[in-house]
Amino acid sequence: MEKHDRAAQRQRLRKRRLIQRLVTIGIIFAIAFAVLVAYHVKQRTLYAEKVAERKELTTEMTELEKEEKALLEEIDLLNDEEYILDIARTNYFLSKEGELIFQIDEDEQRRY
């Protein structure tokens, strides 16, 4: 009977250790899974932020390219002497020889 009790006790100890090992391994896997899920969520959030930032920067770059094109056209126009003379006549009321300039109020100009 004593042998049988010892064998049963050893069997219970083995079973208990097996359960302890399985619980420990389960906890380790659960922690690893949680860490991987958290990392994945963090990466998805970061990716979404980067996509939004790229879209914003692409829009800004398009606007800057349009502005650059307009400025280059203005540079070409400013190299033209006739264009500069037209600006001087319009903004500073300069005139050619024999030319008269009449200033009309905006209200009167709208009527015509």
pLDDT of 52-102, one tens digit each? 999 999 999 999 999 999 999 999 998 988 888 888 777 876 777 777 766
What is the pLDDT, as a whole number, of residue 87? 84
What is the pLDDT, as a whole number, of residue 44? 98
In a domain, residue 98? The reply is no
Q: State how many domains the chain has.
A: 1
In a domain, residue 99? The reply is no
In a domain, residue 110? The reply is no
Which residue has 């004593």 as its token pair? 2
89 CB-contact burial (10 Å; exposed 0-12 / middle 13-18 / buried 19+): middle
pLDDT band of 112, cuts 50, 70, 90: low
| Region of poorest pLDDT, from 4-8, 24-28, 106-110 | 106-110
pLDDT band of 4, cuts 50, 70, 90: confident
In a domain, residue 103? The reply is no
In a domain, residue 80? The reply is yes
In a domain, residue 108? The reply is no
In a domain, residue 24? The reply is yes
Domain of residue 80 covers 2-93
In a domain, residue 20? The reply is yes
pTM above 0.75, yes or no: no
What is the pLDDT, as a whole number, of residue 104? 73
14 CB-contact burial (10 Å; exposed 0-12 / middle 13-18 / buried 19+): exposed
